[in-house]
Structure 1
């Protein structure tokens, strides 16, 4: 289950990176890091 959630989030980030650009995704990850914690962001970014 955890792997499916992780892959879904990573897939959405890749799509957003293509459509909206790297800067937007980096800002979004920074914002998520403030809310959920840096460990969550590191867990998602570990590609």
Structure 2
């Protein structure tokens, strides 16, 4: 997993949420944000395990 890419995906998803104008956009952006946060959590847990 690439932390920089996950952080960028999180930033983009947050921006998408702020600019969404419909339920579908919001739902998609929320899913993207959840995925990015999950990746960052895996990175964090992997670091702690080392």
Which is greater in Rg?
A: 2
Relative CO higher for 1 or 2, CA cutoff 8 Å, sep ≥ 6?
2
